[in-house]
Amino acid sequence: MKAGLPLWEVFIRAKNGLSHRHVGSVHAADPRMAVQAARDVYTRRMEGVSLWVVPSASITASDPGEADALFVPAEDKVYRHPTFYVVPDNIKHI
Amino acid sequence: MPDDLTTRFGDDALILGHRLSEWCGHAPALEVDLALANIGLDLLGQAQFFLGLAAEAEAKGRDADALAYRRTEDEFRNCLLVEQPNGDFARTIARQFLFSSWQELLFHGLAQGDDKRIAAIAAKAVKEVTYHARFAADWVIRLGDGTAESHRRMEEGLDWCWRFTGELFAGDAASLRPEWDARVNGVLAEAGLPPPNPVRGITGGRDGRHSEHLGHLLAEMQYLPRVYPDAVW
């Protein structure tokens, strides 16, 4: 869309019980049009049952320059992963 | 020559679907490009169902493809509104708004009708058409209530299309008019647009008397099946 229209981030819930996941973005003048644009661009192949749109400007991102401080310390702490539990076969999406 | 309602409904959907496909790659924005193509594909699906029924009813061994690709201009029964050229985006939106608002009311009625197969097609299609009507109405409001330029174009688009709307309400469809008027006027009021100027209506599509535009559209749409009969995909 023309430069100047706000950007919206699009989240889709693939099916009931799952959480909304980020899939991309659209340009639109307001929330209602953003939902329509998201529907037309991202749900053409039955990708979802629910949509969220969020103004991209509302998102505060972490600073890539701080990535070392923020994320690297977790690398050698495997004991934080719940890998020592046995998950029953019929429990999905964990 | 199948001359019944299913042919009309199928031809309306087929011709408008083709018009919308002409926007593919040319719409003002990627989002709108996809939206118009989606609507066109919905209409193409409806056309396939309705023309399938029409072909079966005439029982001459033709199928929906044969009706779509092997008929001449004067055998088409679509209304004149859907064959009108796209014009600018506002005129395309005006055409869609006026047509989809009518089609939504029509299909709501058909879905309750006696003919089970038509009712089934209408019940499926009405969900699609509800979205088409909403999409178009939202754009009428955005353009009408937008800039001076978008307002002017939206007004011109509606004025251009208005003369073809009377044809939608010929015969039994006359009963749809009050609710259609109310909806259209409601959206125009919200858009800050004046009601279109009354004009003398033009009709004839339902009898196969079309504007000069349909022949050009068919030339493009039917080119491949006519040049390569029975070509397969």
A11: domain CATH number is 3.10.20.520
Asked if A33 lies within 8 A of B142 by C-beta distance, the reply is yes
Task: Choose among A1, A32, A44: nearest Cβ to B31.
Answer: A1
The H or E element spanning position B7 is: helix B5-21
Interface predicted TM-score (ipTM) of this complex, two decimals: 0.78
Task: For B51-93, write each residue's pLDDT tens digit.
Answer: 999 999 999 999 999 999 999 999 999 999 999 999 999 999 9
Task: For B106-122, write each residue's pLDDT tens digit.
Answer: 999 999 999 999 999 99
pLDDT at position A75 is 83
Range of the domain at A39: 7-80
Between 1.10.1740.10, 3.40.50.12240, 1.20.1260.10, 3.30.70.80, what CATH number should domain B5-227 receive?
1.20.1260.10
pLDDT at position A88 is 87
Task: Answer yes or no: is A90 within a domain.
Answer: no
pLDDT at position A94 is 66
pLDDT at position A1 is 46
Q: Is residue B137 less than 8 Å (CB to CB) from chain A?
A: no
In chain B, domain spans: 5-227
Mutate which: B24, B31, B143, vs A, most A CBs within 10 A: B31
For B213, residues 6+ apart whose C-beta sits below 8 A from its C-beta are: B83, B84, B85
Residue B1 in this model has a pLDDT that exceeds 50 = no
Task: For B183-221, write each residue's pLDDT tens digit.
Answer: 999 999 999 999 998 899 999 999 999 999 999 999 999
pLDDT at position B112 is 95
Q: Residue A76: which pLDDT band, with cuts at 50, 70 and 90? A: confident
Q: Is residue A7 less than 8 Å (CB to CB) from chain B?
A: no
Task: Answer yes or no: is A2 within a domain.
Answer: no
Asked if A40 lies within 8 A of B142 by C-beta distance, the reply is no
pLDDT at position A83 is 75
pLDDT at position A3 is 58
Asked if A1 lies within 8 A of B38 by C-beta distance, the reply is no
Task: Answer yes or no: is A93 within a domain.
Answer: no
Q: How many domains does chain A have?
A: 1
Instruction: Copy the structure tokens of residue B114.
Output: 């006696």
pTM for this model (two decimals): 0.89
Distance from CA of B180 to the nearest CA of A (A): 23
For residue A1, which residues of chain B lie inside 8 Å, CB to CB? 28-32
Task: For B9-62, write each residue's pLDDT tens digit.
Answer: 999 999 999 999 999 999 989 999 999 999 999 999 999 999 999 999 999 999
Residue scoring higher pLDDT (A84 or B83): B83
Average pLDDT of chain B is 95
What is the arithmetic mean of pLDDT over A66-79? 86
* Surface-to-core class of residue A5, CB atoms within 10 Å of its CB (0-12 exposed, 13-18 middle, 19+ buried): middle
Q: CA–CA distance from B208 to each of A90, B74, B85, B215 (Å)?
A: 61, 4, 18, 12
**Across A68-77, B67-76, B139-148, B180-189, least confident range:** A68-77
Contact between A23 and A39 under an 8 Å Cβ cutoff? The reply is no
For residue A29, which residues of chain B lie inside 8 Å, CB to CB? 142
**Pick from B227, B140, B127: nearest CA to B183:** B140
Task: For A9-59, write each residue's pLDDT tens digit.
Answer: 999 999 998 999 999 999 998 999 999 999 999 998 889 999 999 999 999
Following DSSP, what letter does each residue of B29-62 receive, concatenated?
A: SHHHHHHHHHHHHHHHHHHHHHHHHHHHHHTSS-
